[in-house]
Amino acid sequence: GEEVAQTPKHLVRGEGQKAKLYCAPIKGHSYVFWYQQVLKNEFKFLISFQNENVFDETGMPKERFSAKCLPNSPCSLEIQATKLEDSAVYFCASSHTGTGKGSNQPQHFGDGTRLSIL
């Protein structure tokens, strides 16, 4: 598709339950990124993929968060044993492979999944 598609738009879970978010990147884009926006203007990078391989997971809380990008499937971000502090909007972005060394391709964002932990 021409847009990054994130599902669901809203997800409500009780504390301790599992939450799973999905992202379909733009067709032909090799890179996928996940970000968390907790307060209005504060973004936190979580993880990035090059195709199905993890590229950078320095932002991932390793204990409860996991992510995958498998061939022919939407990418997913899963949170086990959710906590109140996981309430946030989670954004997925994708970008094209650039040509040449040092290319700096824009990231295209979805509209996010709003996760509410009660």
Partner 1 sequence: DAKTTQPNSMESNEEEPVHLPCNHSTISGTDYIHWYRQLPSQGPEYVIHGLTSNVNNRMASLAIAEDRKSSTLILHRATLRDAAVYYCILRPTGANSKLTFGKGITLSVRP
- For residue 87, state whether it binds partner 1 (rule: CB under 8 A): no
> Looking only at residues 6 through 65 of this chain, which bind partner 1 when binding is defined by CB under 8 A?
31, 33, 35, 40-43, 45, 48, 50, 55-56, 59
- Burial class from Cβ neighbours inside 10 Å (0-12, 13-18, 19+) for residue 26 reads middle
Does residue 97 touch partner 1 according to CB under 8 A? yes
Listed ranges 10-18, 60-68, 72-80, 98-106: which one lies at the site for partner 1 (CB under 8 A)? 98-106
Among 4, 67, 77, 117, binds partner 1 (CB under 8 A): 4
